[in-house]
Amino acid sequence: MLCVLTLISVIAAGALAYVNKITVGPIEENKARTLAEGINSVLGVTDAQVQDTKTVQDANGNEVILYATDKGMAVQAIDPNGFGGTLKVLVGFDEAGAIKGYTVLEHAETPGLGAKADFWFQKGEKGDIIGKNPGEKELTVSKDGGDVDAITASTITSRAFLRAVNIAFHAYAGASAPDGQSGASKQQTHPSPSL
Protein backbone atom coordinates (compact mmCIF):
# COMPACT_ATOMS: atom_id res chain seq x y z
CA MET A 1 0.00 0.00 0.00
CA LEU A 2 2.78 2.43 0.93
CA CYS A 3 4.70 1.68 -2.29
CA VAL A 4 1.59 2.24 -4.44
CA LEU A 5 0.81 5.60 -2.77
CA THR A 6 4.44 6.69 -3.13
CA LEU A 7 4.44 5.73 -6.82
CA ILE A 8 1.18 7.63 -7.43
CA SER A 9 2.57 10.69 -5.63
CA VAL A 10 5.80 10.63 -7.66
CA ILE A 11 3.90 10.29 -10.95
CA ALA A 12 1.49 13.10 -10.00
CA ALA A 13 4.35 15.39 -8.94
CA GLY A 14 6.20 14.67 -12.19
CA ALA A 15 3.09 15.38 -14.26
CA LEU A 16 2.49 18.67 -12.44
CA ALA A 17 6.12 19.73 -12.89
CA TYR A 18 5.95 18.92 -16.61
CA VAL A 19 2.70 20.85 -17.11
CA ASN A 20 4.14 23.80 -15.19
CA LYS A 21 7.28 23.77 -17.36
CA ILE A 22 5.40 23.78 -20.65
CA THR A 23 2.91 26.48 -19.58
CA VAL A 24 5.40 29.03 -18.17
CA GLY A 25 6.31 30.40 -21.61
CA PRO A 26 2.75 30.83 -22.90
CA ILE A 27 1.67 32.43 -19.61
CA GLU A 28 4.50 35.00 -19.83
CA GLU A 29 3.69 35.69 -23.51
CA ASN A 30 0.04 36.20 -22.60
CA LYS A 31 0.98 38.64 -19.80
CA ALA A 32 3.24 40.60 -22.18
CA ARG A 33 0.52 40.73 -24.84
CA THR A 34 -2.08 41.85 -22.28
CA LEU A 35 0.27 44.57 -21.02
CA ALA A 36 1.00 45.75 -24.58
CA GLU A 37 -2.72 45.89 -25.37
CA GLY A 38 -3.34 47.77 -22.10
CA ILE A 39 -0.63 50.33 -22.83
CA ASN A 40 -2.00 50.93 -26.32
CA SER A 41 -5.53 51.19 -24.94
CA VAL A 42 -4.75 53.75 -22.22
CA LEU A 43 -2.73 55.87 -24.64
CA GLY A 44 -5.42 55.67 -27.32
CA VAL A 45 -3.07 54.25 -29.98
CA THR A 46 -2.35 50.91 -31.61
CA ASP A 47 1.42 50.98 -32.04
CA ALA A 48 3.11 52.31 -28.88
CA GLN A 49 6.66 51.05 -28.38
CA VAL A 50 7.95 50.88 -24.80
CA GLN A 51 11.28 52.69 -24.65
CA ASP A 52 11.95 52.54 -20.92
CA THR A 53 10.44 50.88 -17.86
CA LYS A 54 11.03 52.24 -14.38
CA THR A 55 9.82 50.95 -11.02
CA VAL A 56 9.36 53.26 -8.03
CA GLN A 57 7.61 52.95 -4.70
CA ASP A 58 4.70 55.12 -3.64
CA ALA A 59 4.48 56.69 -0.18
CA ASN A 60 3.08 53.42 1.23
CA GLY A 61 5.84 51.26 -0.23
CA ASN A 62 3.70 49.82 -3.04
CA GLU A 63 5.31 49.26 -6.42
CA VAL A 64 4.47 51.69 -9.23
CA ILE A 65 5.68 50.89 -12.75
CA LEU A 66 6.18 53.60 -15.38
CA TYR A 67 6.21 52.63 -19.06
CA ALA A 68 7.71 55.41 -21.20
CA THR A 69 6.66 54.92 -24.82
CA ASP A 70 7.07 56.82 -28.05
CA LYS A 71 3.38 57.82 -27.70
CA GLY A 72 3.29 58.92 -24.07
CA MET A 73 3.54 57.52 -20.56
CA ALA A 74 1.51 54.68 -19.06
CA VAL A 75 1.70 54.07 -15.32
CA GLN A 76 0.65 50.97 -13.38
CA ALA A 77 -0.36 51.61 -9.77
CA ILE A 78 -2.28 49.83 -7.04
CA ASP A 79 -4.40 50.64 -4.06
CA PRO A 80 -4.62 47.77 -1.57
CA ASN A 81 -7.80 49.10 0.07
CA GLY A 82 -10.53 48.24 -2.41
CA PHE A 83 -13.68 46.64 -1.06
CA GLY A 84 -12.49 43.19 -2.15
CA GLY A 85 -8.76 43.83 -1.81
CA THR A 86 -6.10 45.21 -4.12
CA LEU A 87 -7.11 47.23 -7.17
CA LYS A 88 -4.47 47.53 -9.93
CA VAL A 89 -4.86 50.10 -12.70
CA LEU A 90 -2.92 51.20 -15.76
CA VAL A 91 -3.32 54.90 -16.61
CA GLY A 92 -2.14 56.82 -19.67
CA PHE A 93 -1.15 60.49 -19.41
CA ASP A 94 -0.50 63.16 -22.02
CA GLU A 95 2.40 65.63 -21.81
CA ALA A 96 0.39 68.02 -19.61
CA GLY A 97 -0.61 65.28 -17.15
CA ALA A 98 -4.20 64.87 -18.31
CA ILE A 99 -5.60 61.33 -18.29
CA LYS A 100 -5.78 59.84 -21.79
CA GLY A 101 -7.29 56.55 -20.70
CA TYR A 102 -7.19 53.77 -18.12
CA THR A 103 -7.78 50.09 -17.73
CA VAL A 104 -8.31 48.02 -14.61
CA LEU A 105 -5.70 45.26 -14.68
CA GLU A 106 -6.71 43.40 -11.55
CA HIS A 107 -9.41 43.56 -8.91
CA ALA A 108 -11.39 41.41 -6.52
CA GLU A 109 -14.43 43.67 -6.36
CA THR A 110 -18.04 42.51 -6.22
CA PRO A 111 -19.37 41.54 -9.67
CA GLY A 112 -22.08 43.97 -10.77
CA LEU A 113 -20.99 46.61 -8.25
CA GLY A 114 -17.31 47.41 -7.72
CA ALA A 115 -16.38 45.57 -10.90
CA LYS A 116 -18.04 48.46 -12.76
CA ALA A 117 -14.78 50.40 -12.32
CA ASP A 118 -13.78 48.87 -15.67
CA PHE A 119 -16.12 51.30 -17.45
CA TRP A 120 -17.66 53.69 -14.89
CA PHE A 121 -14.85 56.26 -15.15
CA GLN A 122 -14.45 56.07 -18.96
CA LYS A 123 -15.21 58.92 -21.37
CA GLY A 124 -18.92 59.75 -21.44
CA GLU A 125 -19.79 57.63 -18.40
CA LYS A 126 -21.12 58.92 -15.06
CA GLY A 127 -17.72 59.10 -13.35
CA ASP A 128 -15.77 60.28 -16.44
CA ILE A 129 -12.14 61.11 -15.54
CA ILE A 130 -10.74 61.14 -19.09
CA GLY A 131 -9.13 64.50 -19.82
CA LYS A 132 -8.89 65.45 -16.15
CA ASN A 133 -5.51 66.40 -14.73
CA PRO A 134 -4.90 65.14 -11.17
CA GLY A 135 -2.10 67.71 -10.90
CA GLU A 136 -4.62 70.54 -11.07
CA LYS A 137 -7.02 68.95 -8.61
CA GLU A 138 -6.65 65.54 -6.98
CA LEU A 139 -9.39 63.15 -8.04
CA THR A 140 -11.83 62.32 -5.25
CA VAL A 141 -15.43 61.19 -5.11
CA SER A 142 -18.18 63.78 -4.67
CA LYS A 143 -19.04 62.36 -1.21
CA ASP A 144 -15.56 63.51 -0.12
CA GLY A 145 -15.91 66.95 -1.72
CA GLY A 146 -14.49 65.96 -5.09
CA ASP A 147 -15.77 66.17 -8.65
CA VAL A 148 -16.10 62.48 -9.54
CA ASP A 149 -19.33 60.52 -9.15
CA ALA A 150 -18.74 57.29 -7.26
CA ILE A 151 -19.98 53.96 -8.56
CA THR A 152 -23.48 53.48 -7.18
CA ALA A 153 -23.28 51.39 -3.97
CA SER A 154 -19.49 51.08 -4.37
CA THR A 155 -17.95 54.14 -2.78
CA ILE A 156 -15.09 52.14 -1.24
CA THR A 157 -14.12 50.76 -4.66
CA SER A 158 -14.43 54.22 -6.22
CA ARG A 159 -12.15 55.73 -3.57
CA ALA A 160 -9.57 52.95 -4.06
CA PHE A 161 -9.69 53.39 -7.84
CA LEU A 162 -9.20 57.17 -7.64
CA ARG A 163 -6.37 56.78 -5.09
CA ALA A 164 -4.63 54.41 -7.52
CA VAL A 165 -5.06 56.93 -10.35
CA ASN A 166 -3.69 59.73 -8.14
CA ILE A 167 -0.72 57.52 -7.17
CA ALA A 168 -0.09 56.87 -10.87
CA PHE A 169 -0.19 60.61 -11.56
CA HIS A 170 2.28 61.45 -8.78
CA ALA A 171 4.71 58.84 -10.12
CA TYR A 172 4.23 60.27 -13.63
CA ALA A 173 4.77 63.83 -12.42
CA GLY A 174 7.91 62.77 -10.54
CA ALA A 175 9.29 61.07 -13.64
CA SER A 176 8.46 64.12 -15.74
CA ALA A 177 10.12 66.57 -13.33
CA PRO A 178 13.29 68.21 -14.66
CA ASP A 179 15.51 66.37 -12.16
CA GLY A 180 13.61 63.08 -12.65
CA GLN A 181 13.03 62.73 -8.91
CA SER A 182 9.77 62.56 -7.04
CA GLY A 183 8.61 61.91 -3.54
CA ALA A 184 8.80 58.24 -4.44
CA SER A 185 11.83 56.21 -3.47
CA LYS A 186 13.99 53.38 -4.77
CA GLN A 187 13.89 53.88 -8.53
CA GLN A 188 14.91 50.81 -10.49
CA THR A 189 15.28 50.64 -14.25
CA HIS A 190 14.31 47.42 -15.99
CA PRO A 191 14.79 46.29 -19.57
CA SER A 192 11.86 47.36 -21.75
CA PRO A 193 9.38 44.66 -22.70
CA SER A 194 8.85 44.26 -26.41
CA LEU A 195 5.39 45.02 -27.66
Which residues, listed in sequence order, are joined to residue 106 by a DSSP beta bridge? 88
Q: Give the chain as a 3 state SS string.
A: CHHHHHHHHHHHHHHHHHHHHHHHHHHHHHHHHHHHHHHHHHHCCCCCCEEEEEEEECCCCCEEEEEEECCEEEEEEEECCCCCCCEEEEEEECCCCCEEEEEEEECCCCCCCHHHHHHHCCCCCCCCCCCCCCCCCCCCEHHHCCCECCCCCCHHHHHHHHHHHHHHHHHHHHHHCCCCCCCCEEEEEECCCCC
Those residues whose C-beta lies under 8 Å from the C-beta of residue 183, and which sit 6 or more positions away, are 59, 170, 174
Going residue by residue through the chain, which has 195 residues, state the pLDDT in tens, using 9 for 90 and above. Answer: 999 999 999 999 999 999 999 999 998 998 888 889 999 999 999 999 999 999 999 988 999 999 999 999 999 999 998 888 888 999 999 999 999 999 988 886 767 676 788 899 999 999 999 999 999 999 999 999 999 999 988 889 999 999 999 999 999 998 766 544 444 434 444 444 444
For the four alpha carbons of 177, 181, 187 and 189, in that order, the dihedral sign comes to: positive
Amino acid in the structure at residue 176: S
Q: What does the pLDDT look like over 42-66, one tens digit per residue? A: 999 999 999 999 999 998 899 999 9
**Under 8 Å between Cβ of 70 and 91:** no
Please tell me the number of Cα atoms within 13 Å of 189 on its side-chain side.
Answer: 7
pTM, rounded to two decimals: 0.77
